[in-house]
Copies of this chain bind each other. A is one copy, B any other.
Amino acid sequence: MSIEECLHGFIPETTVVQCFNAGAVLFHNGSRTVGPYEIVTGAVRLSRIDASGKEVVLHIARPGDHLAEASIFSSVYHCDATAIKKSTVRLYPKAALLSEFERNPDFAKSYAAMLARELMTTRARVQRLGMHSARERVRHYLALTAAKDGHVEVAGTIKDLAAELSLTHEALYRTLTQMERDGEISRSGRTITLRDTRALQ
């Protein structure tokens, strides 16, 4: 489902494992690309400096996440990546990926398919963030994330989910309790269950 499946098994011997202390920079906006990374342990913040000079956090990548999948086709990175705690990461060297891409059509296909999937989920996120009410966003997220039985296992904390939905955690808490009061969902621990039958098509 991620870059992972597509990278694993192809060129494991060319990858490079690196270690960064908290605050260390993996790369910054405009620096030459060396390739995409996978987070092994720790956490890496992807950010960009906006027009007014303020830093905007794009994403916090956690173990298992991959970043800069698109970097094999671009000459420079388009954001800053900073370790926010001591982290180990695996680098997939661009040159090796590229030559594999040219040599092996199966690899090319699965890499492109991975980019396409990533694109679709990112578009879904755009759709979600375009919704003006917290409730709609939560509903959209749950509907797209839930298994057939309506269960959603929340990865990470509720605060993380709030960030993903671009809400304050307070707003999310309130929305969830309200939805629970209305019988739209039920919660227990990390699991949220959608009770609307239609939502599961």
Contacts and interface: CB of A to CB of B under 8 A. Distances in A.
Interface of A: 48, 50-53, 56, 58, 69-70, 72-74, 78, 101-102, 105, 108-109, 111-113, 115-120, 122-123, 125-127, 129-132, 136, 139-140, 142-143, 166, 194, 196, 198-199
Task: Report copies per complex.
Answer: 2
Contacts of A69: 116, 119
Contacts of A101: 105, 108-109, 112
A78 B116 CA distance: 12
A144 to B, nearest CB: 8
B196 A73 contact: no
B109 A111 contact: no
Given A105-B108, A129-B126, A129-B130, A117 B70 contact: yes
